Amino acid sequence: MVKIMSNEITNILLIEDEKDIARFIELELTCEGYKVHVAYDGMQGLMSARQINPDLIILDRMLPQMNGIEVCKRLRQSTDVPILMLTAKGDITDKVEGLDAGANDYLVKPFNLDELLARVRVQLRSKKPFEKTIMEFMDLHLDTTTREIKRGDKKINLSPKEYDLLMLFMKHPKHVLNRERILENIWGWDFEGEDNVLEVYMHSLREKIEVDGKPRILQTIRGVGYVLKEPT
């Protein structure tokens, strides 16, 4: 029996003084499966950021105590966490100021919810995912610097998409990844291609990493998705 593990928790810190907007964003992000922490002013936001060490910060520009630009600058002294800035103002100097302060992206209120969610995903994806360059699972090795892959001492050549796919599993060993999550990660959030594209790629990826009759480590979880785990 395979235990289905949930994806690891992604923490998002929302720093927004307008309670209605904060509540709305918090609810939507929570529905998407993120763990959301809310701070209602700049100082509190800065403190929360240090305590929580979030994966992403959504930062309003106009805040009491300390404005968003100042919060952003201070955060940048100690962390490279992705920062998505929100503002009611849309003029270009305002955007430049936010980006100069170290924000990764900028969204003008009122914003479209789907756009916010998409930008959150983009920032989480582009976040430097790991420090080490060699990833290992059993006898499978992946070097993220050279993109070299080996099963045992056999070198394996993958297409770019196969590589991305394998990397996703290597980053989440023993976690069942559902189809939607894989498609979104590898083919993008607005992917509208053939239904079986994932199956096709999984098939070719398996053929390659099961070199010399090595046992299957990319397992299918019927009706859910796939998992990288020891053969049963």
Comparing CB distances to Ca ion, the nearer of 45 and 225 is 45
Comparing CB distances to Ca ion, the nearer of 60 and 162 is 60
CA nearest to 102, candidates 86, 89, 83, 116: 83
- β-partners of residue 58 are 14, 84
Residue whose CB is nearest to Ca ion in the complex, by number: 62
Please, what is the minimum distance in Å from the beta carbon of residue 70 to Ca ion? 14
Please, what is the minimum distance in Å from the beta carbon of residue 101 to Ca ion? 16
Contact residues toward Ca ion (CB under 5 A) are 17, 60, 62
Please, what is the minimum distance in Å from the beta carbon of residue 208 to Ca ion? 51
Comparing CB distances to Ca ion, the nearer of 20 and 190 is 20
Comparing CB distances to Ca ion, the nearer of 17 and 26 is 17
What burial class does residue 96 get, using C-beta atoms within 10 Å of its C-beta: 0-12 exposed, 13-18 middle, 19+ buried?
exposed
Please, what is the minimum distance in Å from the beta carbon of residue 71 to Ca ion? 12
**Strands across the sheet with 148-151, in order?**
134-137, 140-143, 148-151, 154-156
Distance (Å, whole) CA 49 – CA 67: 15
